[in-house]
Amino acid sequence: MRRRAKRTPGRRKKSKVLIFLDVVIGILTAFLIFGLIGFMASRSDNYYDRKFGGSTADYAIQREDYTGLLNDYYNDYGIIGLVTPGFEENAAVAEYADAAFRYGAYLKNGEEERAARQKARMEEAAGKAGIYEPEIEKIDQILSMSK
C-alpha cells in the first residue's frame, strides 16, 4: 500500500492558472505604478522638462532666480559643455551671471587679471543673450546692490 503524503493544514497547492494570474496582476500593477510616477513627474519642473522641451530656465529668468538658473546650467550644460538646441540664450544668461558673480568676487579680492578674464566672459555672454538682454542689466543691478 502506498502512503499518502501528509498535507499541512491551511496550505493548498496553487493551480498553474492562479500562479499565472498572480504574475499578470503583479506586472500590471508595476506598469500602473510606474505609469503614474511618470505622469506625476511630467507635470513638474524636472530635469527631463528642461532637457526635452520644458522651459524651466525661462521661468527662472522670469522669477529673477539667477542662482537657480546657474544651478540648472551647471547640472545640465556645464558638465558636458554642450547646450541643448533652443536653450542657447538661456545658457548665455547663466554664463553671464556666473561671470558677473566671479568678476565681483575677484575685484573685491584685488585679483585684476582674473577679473579681466571674467569681464571678457561677461561681454561674450551678453552678446549671445538675445531676447534676454534686459536680464543682463538686472543682473548688473543686483550685483551692484550686493557690493
Q: Is residue 51 a contact partner of residue 85, using CB atoms and an 8 Å limit? A: no
50 has a pLDDT exceeding 50: no
Mean pLDDT over the full length of the chain: 77
Residue 134 grid cell: 534686459
In a domain, 7, yes or no: no
Residue 60 shares a structural domain with residue 132: yes
Quote the pLDDT of residue 14: 82
In a domain, 4, yes or no: no
Span 35-55, average pLDDT: 57
In a domain, 5, yes or no: no
3-state secondary structure of 35: helix
Number of domains in the chain: 2
Quote the pLDDT of residue 53: 45
> Rounded to whole angstroms, how far apart are CA atoms 24 and 10?
25
In a domain, 1, yes or no: no
In a domain, 3, yes or no: no
Residue where one domain finishes, among candidates 5, 26, 44: 44
Residue 39 shares a structural domain with residue 78: no
Residue 25 shares a structural domain with residue 67: no
pTM reported for the whole predicted model: 0.54
Quote the pLDDT of residue 48: 43
Q: Encode 71-121 in three state secondary structure.
A: HHHHHHHHCCCCCCCCCHHHHHHHHHHHHHHHHHHHHHHCCHHHHHHHHHH
Residue 112 grid cell: 585684476
Q: Which domain holds residue 129?
A: 54-146
% of the chain beyond a pLDDT of 70? 63
In a domain, 21, yes or no: yes
Residue 33 shares a structural domain with residue 99: no
In a domain, 139, yes or no: yes
Pick the residue with more confidence: 111 or 62?
Answer: 111
127 has a pLDDT exceeding 70: yes
Residue 77 shares a structural domain with residue 140: yes
Quote the pLDDT of residue 52: 40
124 has a pLDDT exceeding 80: yes
